[in-house]
Amino acid sequence: MDKERLLGKTLPELKAIVQSLGLPAFSAKQICEWLYKKKVDSIDKMTNLSLANREKLSAAYEVGLSLPERVDSSVDGTRKYLFRAKHGLVETVYIPEEDRATLCVSSQVGCKMNCLFCMTGKQGFSGHLSSADILNQMQSIDESDKLTNVVFMGMGEPMDNVDELLKTLEIMTSDWGYAWSPKRITVSTVGIIPGMKRFLEESSCHLAVSLHNPISEERRSLMPIEKAFPIEKVIEEIKKFDFTHQRRVSFEYTMFSGVNDRPAHVKALVSLLSGLECRINLIRFHAIPGVSLEGSSMEVMERFRDDLMHRGIMTTIRKSRGEDIFAACGLLSSNHTGELNEKAKTVLQKK
C-alpha cells in the first residue's frame, strides 16, 4: 500500500497525525520545519525526532517529493519541467529575469475550460492536483531556493480546484510554512465566481483574470465559461473587494487579429473596468494546431496599449518567454510526445 505524503499537510493536519501516532504534540511544528523550511526529502533526515518516532512516522507516511521526469531549456533561459502526478503529467515553467525568478505552476492535469486558444484545454481534463502535487513543483526543481514569485498560470483552472489551492496558499504564506508574503503570489482564473469569491475572502494573494474579450457574445466564442459566468458578473464580484492598496488585480488579454483588437474593444474595456484599480497585460498569441486565430501585429498591440493608457488604464505588453520549448502562454500540454505537440511544432516552425 502506498504511503501517505506529509508534503502538503497543514500544521493542524500534522498535529492530528502526531497525536494519532502517539508522538509529542510539539513534533508537529518540528515536522513543518523539516518539510517547508529545510525542505528535506526523507523522514530519516528529521533528526530532532527520536529514531523510534521517525520509525513510527515512516511506517505510514513519506515526505512525498518526486523529481521531474523531463527538463527542457529555452534559448532565453526559461526552463520547463515535466512532473508525474496521480492523474497524469503536468508542466511547470521557471522564468528567470534580472531582478526576479518566477515559477508558473499547474493546478490540474489538463483543464475543463476548453478555451479556444489554449493547448491545455485541447487535451481535456484528467484530474485535480493535490496541495502536495502543487508544492512539489516548487520544491523539486533545481531553482527552488531562487524563487521570488509564483504564479498559478500553468495547466488547469485554479478556482476549479479551490480547496487544494487554498490549502497550498496557507502553507506558502503561514509562519510555520514557507512564510512567503502573499504579494509574491498571483492566482489566475477564467472567472469561476464561487471559487474566485472564496479565494478573495480567504487569501490576500494577487488575482489575475483571463479576460481576452470585454464583449460578452464575442468572449463566449473564445471561452465557453462566459455562458456560465459572464464577465460582467465576474467584474461585479471583483469590485466588492479592495485593490487600492497592496493587493492587485490584473487582466490577461491575448490579442487576436481582427477579433479583439479594435477601437470598440478599447471602449468596452474602459466601460467594463471603470472604477477598478487594475492593470491589463497584453499577450501575444502563440498559434496552435486546428485553430484559425492569428495574433495581432506588434504595431496593433502597441496602439491598443497606448489607447488604454490614454484612457487611464495601466497596460503593458508581456514579453513572450520559452516559445521554443512550448512553455509560453497557452502552449502547455502534457500530451508531451503526442500528436498534438508535433502539430504545434509544425505550426511554430512555419511562423
Active-site amino acid positions: 91, 329
- Pick the closest to residue 304 from 264, 257, 266 (CA basis): 266
Q: Pull the grid cell for residue 266.
A: 478599447
Burial group, residue 267, by CB count within 10 angstroms (0-12, 13-18, 19+): middle
| CB contact at 8 A, 220 and 212 | no
Distance between CA atoms of 46 and 31, rounded to whole angstroms?
A: 7
Neighbours of 258 (CB within 10 A): 10
**SS3 of residue 279 by DSSP:** strand
**Whose CA is closest to 226, among 237, 238, 236, 214?**
214
Give DSSP secondary structure letters for 63-77: ------SEEEE-TTS
With 0-12 / 13-18 / 19 or more C-beta atoms within 10 angstroms meaning exposed / middle / buried, residue 142 is: exposed
Cell numbers for 223 = 471561452
Instruction: Note the Cα 199 to chain centre separation in Å.
Output: 13
Is there a contact between 326 and 338 (Cβ–Cβ < 8 Å)? Answer: no
Count of CB atoms within 10 A of residue 302's CB? 13
Strands (E), 100-248: 101-104, 108-110, 125-128, 149-152, 185-189, 206-210
CA distances from 327 to 75, 77, 236 (A): 12, 11, 33
What's the full length of the chain, in residues?
Answer: 351
